[in-house]
Chains A and B, each alone.
Chain A
């Protein structure tokens, strides 16, 4: 259960981070002033980002059931988002690197859901 919560946090952070790094302001912060992502990159990362958030929801439901899970997910989302906000301001490149945490997060979530 705690593994699922952990992967839920990782996926939520990664989902938000992936979405945020193709937003104009944050993209420019990372890649330099005036730079904009191409449409294909933007669409791809957005899809991945939403996928991460969806997976994080599934992980939280897996951890807490249909009653508690959604509540847990909301809390996890808030904490992940606040972490990202600070990271985007003070170390924007780290936010981009941090987005990769969704990959082990997804693997961990799938593994713990299948091993149940």
Chain B
């Protein structure tokens, strides 16, 4: 044997070990992150679905001009919060047909971060784009925002902790992807191969197909995900240049108005925003989509108009800043520096704000493939490890503790998480509208459902449990359009034939229906497998079906 060959084999084997453990240790958390992230591509649509009170207003046949919409929102904000520290207005655009406004107040002394966030959640209102009047108050829900935050902040802990935990899982994932490519012996020969009903081989094929065929996506999403929080994971450069003054860095590098100059404390009424919007619309050839006013009614007020970045990857949105007191144009963002543009493109790739409906659907499908990759990888470990116990089990013994634990965690994550997501949506429709802290209650329902699934799985990690939880998930997911029919006026019968503003609602119902059918198929498949297993009576036959089939033997 040549020495080179030995080294190559050694590398592959050691990478196989790295791949197994870097994947297995974080796979259940990764599944949560992947599922939430995949859903978060549609977070605005999910939020819209979860606020049925707004559906009628959004379907308005005609809209008022953008400048007038902005003026109406400003009037509402002047009435509610003339002394706010910041105003935020979202104007109607492609993915949002309503006018939404919110404001921040200077934090009171002794207020915790969570209290401030809860206070901010109450400080908003929605306007009907046709009449300009306030819509019926939507139910208290965080909608897709909960799922989006869950993706990187987790829940029931400070965002800082959540981000570190998710970050470590993501770093582990990056290691798993790279070591997985190295350890994959037949990456080109098996490129298009899927052989069903062959035990371990089939799981490996499925793991390879979902991983390799979307490898650009998986690598991109993991790496860019880490970059979105790079100032947290790699703080040294900032520390070296700015010391503890991180906010100064954000202000200088990102020209972030919110962290910009403080108020002058000299009162000055805010100038009319309409001429500003018209000026921006003339310069850009399209209307702004968002307005940020810092220190309204102060001599140092700034009005920042932002538009959608359009046909570019970067998530850096072009903006124009006006003096809020005089209404004169102060600055307009030109092309960002190369470094900033590069970071913007990397960040932008992760959040995919640039994606049109088709590309967004492709991202969503690749995200689902990511979930499948993590799930099949986790299952593969159990299948492989179980073989070591083939003889023990055949003799009436039990599998080891590790296999039992992994099996149970797999059921709780792979079959339990879809149940949790479905329960979150069911809770949105069924919880009483006047319940206190309703949005938190919805989130609690998510975790109660997931916790129940995880505990049940630990108690009885059996094939029957797989079937039960998959069936439950299927019924809950596929039942959502039915539930929608009984609890709202915007069910599939209406949304499929309604205006374009209602199409996201139809899309939501159809996707949950499809996911429900998929889970139902999985439950059926598990059940059929169980019958086959029971049919194979002799232990010899069982051992033969588990042993890896050799392709070359034929």
Contacts and interface: CB of A to CB of B under 8 A. Distances in A.
B213 A25 contact: no
B31 interface: no
A85 B214 CA distance: 13
Given A72-B359, A74-B217, A76-B362, A23 B189 contact: yes
Contacts of A71: 313, 349, 359
Interface string A21-56: 001011000000100000000000000000000000
A72 B313 CA distance: 11
Given A78-B214, A78-B369, A72 B362 contact: yes
Contact of B193 (A65, A74, A85): A85
Contacts of A88: 192-194
Contacts of B554: 33
Interface string A87-103: 01100000000000000
B552 to A, nearest CB: 11
Given A33-B554, A68-B311, A79 B192 contact: no
Given A68-B313, A74-B216, A85-B213, A79 B194 contact: no
B278 to A, nearest CB: 29
Contacts of A89: 194-196
A68 B217 CA distance: 14
B539 interface: no
A116 interface: no
A88 B358 CA distance: 26
Interface string A58-93: 000000110110011011111101101110110000
Contact residues of A: prevailing secondary structure: helix
B236 to A, nearest CB: 31
B194 to A, nearest CB: 5
Given A71-B349, A85-B209, A78 B359 contact: no
A78 B195 contact: no
A57 interface: no
Contacts of A81: 191-192, 213
Interface residues of A, number: 26
Interface in B15-74: none
A25 B312 contact: no
A20 interface: yes
Interface in B192-222: 192-196, 209, 213-214, 216-217, 220
B194 A85 contact: yes
B363 interface: yes
B124 to A, nearest CB: 32
Contacts of A67: 311-313, 345, 354
A23 B195 CA distance: 16
Nearest to B364: A75
Given A76-B362, A78-B213, A78-B216, 18 more contacts: A23-B191, A25-B189, A64-B359, A67-B313, A67-B345, A67-B354, A68-B313, A68-B354, A75-B366, A78-B214, A78-B217, A78-B362, A81-B191, A85-B192, A85-B193, A85-B194, A89-B194, A89-B196
Interface of B: 189, 191-196, 209, 213-214, 216-217, 220, 311-313, 345, 349, 354, 358-359, 362-363, 365-366, 369, 554
